[in-house]
């Protein structure tokens, strides 16, 4: 190794993060399992879709915050990524609104 070894504080921080990673991995596995069970429960589809979307969003942000270190890094990185994410979501919402199936004459697609 060409550079100095990491400091004790830095190592202690890494050990703390290591335990966070294990906890998070267990949660991610549990939420994925819950998602699969949820789709077979006799609950209205739109309610299930809402819960599934929330669970996915939860997993998504958990990974970017902890596994991708955004919670530990400079806030600028978070805002940069959020900008891309919001643009993607805005594209998605705009397309859904523009091409709502109710407003399309489906005979053209037959």
Partner 1 sequence: MSQAADAHVAPTSTGIDHKKLIMWLFLASDCMFFGTLISTHLLYRKLYPTGFTDAQGHQHFIQNLFNLELTSFSTFILLMSSFLMALAVSAMHKAEIKSFRRNVLGVIFFGLIFLGCQVYEFTHFYHQGLTIQNSVLGSTFYVLTGTHGTHVAIGVLWLVLLYFYSFTGKLGGHMGALDVEVAGLYWHFVDIVWIIIFTLVYLVEYLGPSGIWGSGLPALTQ
Contact residues toward partner 1 (CB under 8 A) are 1-3, 5-7, 9-14, 17-18, 21-22, 24-25, 28-29, 32, 35-36, 39-40, 45, 48-49, 52-53, 55-56, 59-60, 63-64, 66-69, 72-74, 76-77, 80-81, 83-85, 87-89, 91-92, 95-96, 99, 101, 104, 106, 109
Which residues, in sequence order, are CB contacts of 23 under 8 Å at separation 6+? none
Per-residue 3-state assignment (H helix, E strand, C coil) for 29-89: HHHHHHHHHHCCCCCCHHHHHHHHHHHHHHHHHHHHHHHCCCCCCCHHHHHHHHHHHHHHH
CB of 70 to partner 1, least distance (A): 9
- In the complex, least distance from residue 19 CB atom to partner 1, rounded to whole angstroms: 11
């Amino acid at each position: 190794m060409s550079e100095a070894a990491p400091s004790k504080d830095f190592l202690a921080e890494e050990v703390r993060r290591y335990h966070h990673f294990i906890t998070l991995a267990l949660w991610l596995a549990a939420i994925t399992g819950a998602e699969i069970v949820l789709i077979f429960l006799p609950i209205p589809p739109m309610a299930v879709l809402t819960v599934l979307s929330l669970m996915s969003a939860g997993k998504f942000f958990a990974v970017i915050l902890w596994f991708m270190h955004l919670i530990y890094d400079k806030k600028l990185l978070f805002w940069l990524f959020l900008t891309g994410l919001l643009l993607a979501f805005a594209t998605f919402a705009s397309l859904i609104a523009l091409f709502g199936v109710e407003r399309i004459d489906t005979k053209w697609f037959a």
